[in-house]
């Protein structure tokens, strides 16, 4: 199975309206709720791709109960650890006139030392049956900033490949623990390295400890720098829609390619096609299957052999 970790899980709420009017009254035409947070989005896409997937992290309060009820309707196995605080909500407001999305994210519950210890016990048990693990997203209050470094080292000790998808100081510290793959976006990569040139920044991030770095470039696709070479993959056309969760679908593509032992160009093609197909879907953690099948063979992959 594939294990995903979402320490700051969320109940994702998507509002759709004909036009967003700041400073005025807005009437919502459609509301959807999904189990969210980056790792849960990844888990749902992996399950849609046919991989047995287990999701762990924290959930608490009425929002956490609603999240778990929604998760029970998916093919993802729930191994979330209860907390006394209330799981956060994230709200995406989609302006259908412009296609723009406004995102509002709550901070999440404070995690106590006892709750953290309970999670660590669950995590170590789950590693025993995992083929790979994804460590994803922001940290809730009360969780140590070096948590992803700790979880990466535990997975590596258990012989389980690690994909790290976070930002800021947790990313910097996590890289030092040598994850198998780091997946920042272009802005996160620039903040980490100080370079706005993606290829140079990805090489720098790899020197900081990651065995490979795959950087999301938004509508321009994805760049990967590995020990065997570097490649950039781009969709054949720009896709209009809601980009929320597109990066999480890319993580699912990369992780599924890792456990299936696909060559890097095929992993990138899958990640880019899934990401673009998610833009066409109504909510994060989902992708438009027809768009994915149509785009997958048309993703353009460019080789940069001198950049590894």
Torsion angle of C-alpha atoms 224, 138, 106, 32, degrees rounded to 10: 50
Which candidate, 77, 9, 90, places its Cα nearest to that of 44?
Answer: 77
Residue 75 tokens, joined: 């093919």
Beta strands in 187-267 (DSSP E): 213-216, 222-226, 229-234
What does each of the 308 residues of the chain score in pLDDT, given as a tens digit?
A: 999 999 999 998 988 889 988 888 888 898 888 899 999 999 999 999 999 999 999 999 999 999 999 999 999 999 999 999 999 999 888 888 887 888 888 888 999 999 999 999 999 999 998 999 999 999 999 899 999 999 999 999 999 999 999 999 999 999 999 999 999 999 999 999 999 889 999 999 999 999 999 999 888 889 999 998 999 999 888 777 777 788 899 999 999 999 999 999 999 999 999 999 888 776 666 888 888 888 889 988 988 755 44
Residue 76 tokens, joined: 């993802």
| CB-based contact 10:89 (threshold 8 Å) | yes
| CB-based contact 206:307 (threshold 8 Å) | no
Q: What is the pLDDT of residue 285?
A: 66
**Strands across the sheet with 10-17, in order?**
30-36, 10-17, 88-95, 101-105
For CA atoms 251, 252, 258, 262, give the dihedral sign.
negative
Q: Enter the DSSP assignment of 217.
A: -
Q: Enter the DSSP assignment of 25.
A: -
CB atoms inside a 10 Å sphere around CB 190: 16
Alpha carbon 102 to its chain centroid, in Å, reads 19
Q: How far apart are CA 17 and CA 19, in angstroms?
A: 6
- Catalytic residue, candidates 12, 165, 180, 248: 248
User: Which is it for strands 88-95 and 10-17: parallel, antiparallel or unpaired?
Assistant: parallel
Q: How many residues does the chain have?
A: 308
| CB-based contact 217:198 (threshold 8 Å) | yes
End-to-end CA distance of the chain: 30
Question: Does residue 248 carry a catalytic annotation?
Answer: yes
Q: What is the pLDDT of residue 283?
A: 66
CB atoms inside a 10 Å sphere around CB 40: 34
Coil, helix or strand for 285? coil
């Amino acid at each position: 199975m594939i294990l995903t970790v979402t320490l700051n899980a969320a109940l994702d709420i998507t509002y759709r309206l004909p036009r967003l009017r700041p400073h005025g009254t807005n009437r919502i035409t459609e509301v959807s709720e999904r189990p969210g947070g980056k790792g849960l989005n990844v888990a749902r896409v992996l399950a849609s791709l046919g991989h047995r997937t287990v999701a762990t992290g924290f959930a608490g309060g009425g929002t956490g109960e609603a999240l778990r009820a929604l998760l029970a309707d998916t093919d993802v196995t729930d191994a979330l650890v209860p907390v006394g605080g209330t799981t956060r909500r994230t709200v995406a407001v989609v302006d259908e006139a412009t296609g723009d999305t406004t995102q509002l994210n709550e901070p999440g519950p404070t995690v106590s030392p006892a709750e953290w210890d309970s999670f660590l016990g669950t995590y170590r048990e789950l590693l025993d049956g995992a083929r790979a693990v994804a460590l994803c997203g922001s940290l809730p209050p009360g969780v140590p900033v070096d948590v992803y470094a700790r979880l990466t080292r535990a997975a590596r000790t258990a012989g389980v490949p690690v994909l790290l998808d976070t930002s800021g100081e947790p990313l910097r510290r996590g890289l030092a623990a040598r994850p198998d793959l780091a997946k920042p976006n272009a802005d996160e990569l620039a903040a980490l390295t100080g370079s706005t040139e993606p290829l140079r920044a990805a090489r720098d991030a790899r020197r900081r400890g990651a065995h490979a770095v795959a950087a999301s470039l938004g509508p321009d696709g994805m760049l990967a720098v590995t020990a065997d070479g570097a490649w950039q993959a781009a969709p054949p056309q720009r896709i209009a829609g809601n980009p929320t969760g597109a990066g999480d679908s890319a993580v699912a593509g990369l992780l599924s390619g890792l456990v299936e032992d696909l060559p890097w160009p095929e992993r990138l093609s899958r990640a880019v096609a899934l990401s673009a197909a998610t833009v066409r879907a109504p909510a994060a953690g989902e992708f438009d299957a027809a768009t994915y099948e149509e785009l997958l063979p048309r993703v353009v992959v460019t080789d940069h052999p001198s950049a590894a």
